[in-house]
Amino acid sequence: MEVDYRPNFEEQRTRYSFCFTCEDCAHFDGETGECLHGFPNEQHRLSYYVSEIRPGTILFCKDFDLA
Ligand code: SF4
């Protein structure tokens, strides 16, 4: 049986203010929406995780820096 983690993740992400997307990263350019390192960041953006169709996995960026 496959378990859908997404409702739990969404509830916990909000409750614990979980920071893992570009918007919370020191290397993010909020004006252009791009990564200052030039990394492709579509799957690291918050919009990817709050979209109508939620992804089945979470892709963490190894260079995320909360600063
Ligand atoms: S380093 Fe990673 S998390 Fe930070 S802005 Fe670039 S792609 Fe996003």
Contacts of 36 (CB under 8 A, 6+ apart): 27, 28, 29
For 44, list phi and psi in degrees, rounded to 5: -110, -5
* AA letter at 66: L
What would the pLDDT profile of 15-48 be if each residue is shown by its tens digit? 999 999 999 999 999 999 999 999 999 999 999 9
Higher pLDDT, 1 or 60: 60
Measured from CB, residues less than 6 Å from any atom of ligand 1 are 22, 25, 27-28, 35, 37, 39, 41, 44, 61, 63-64
Question: pTM for this one?
Answer: 0.86
Average pLDDT, the chain: 91
CB neighbours of residue 16 within 10 Å: 8
Q: In angstroms, what is the span from residue 2 Cα to ligand 1's centroid?
A: 30
